[in-house]
Amino acid sequence: MITFIAIAEILSWVVLGVVVVLLCLMGRAHMALVRYVHTLEGNTASTEKPEIVGSPAPAFRLTTLDRSQTVSFENNQGHPTLLVFLSPTCHPCHLILPHLSEMSATWQEKGGMLYGISSGDPDEMSRVIARYNLSFPILHEEQWEVTRKYRVPGTPWGIAINTRGIVSGKGVIKQKEQIMSLMETALDHVTPLVSSAG
């Protein structure tokens, strides 16, 4: 009986030790994640980045998923532009692709430029977009360089840039109406995207 009690006491101390070790490891993992997020967002404890809306759009240079074309954004001033940040593992991103495909022709008729920007595996993203007849390029970023410049918190996320090269809107785009709203901000309210009669 005494042996059984001694074994039970030893086991309880072992379990307690394992729990303490796991809690320490979880704390370290949490701190590493916090540091990673701060690095990704470009935040430091002492400085806050200014709001992106109303600021000049940061320049970038990216290649398409198949590496057949390089797009340099600094050449797009004078065109309203919509940047759509996507990920191959983001289910809502998959759901907006048909809307983007449908709206891209009208957008391009208005002089608009539309770019998808993916930071995920290019082969996986290529498989996702193969299901849709997209008439706009999907660009690939290697190290989230454009995501950081535009302070994108997640996907799907849209950034509207007006004809003067100023960021005019930003936001989550999970519905067609949200995409249309961002496109309208990029048009400087000169020409409506959809006629009021329709």
Sequence spans of domains, the chain = 1-49, 61-186
Token pair of 153 as six digits: 């918190």
Among the listed residues 91, 80, 86, the one whose alpha carbon sits nearest the alpha carbon of residue 116 = 86
HSE, CB side, 13 Å, CA atoms: give it for residue 188.
12
What pLDDT band is residue 26 in, cutting at 50, 70 and 90? confident
Mean of per-residue pLDDT scores for the chain: 82
- Which CATH architecture is the domain 61-186 placed in? 3-Layer(aba) Sandwich (3.40)
| pLDDT tens by residue, 172-185 | 999 999 999 999 99
Q: 36-40, 57-61, 177-181 — which is least confidently predicted?
A: 36-40
Indicate whether 40 pLDDT > 60: no
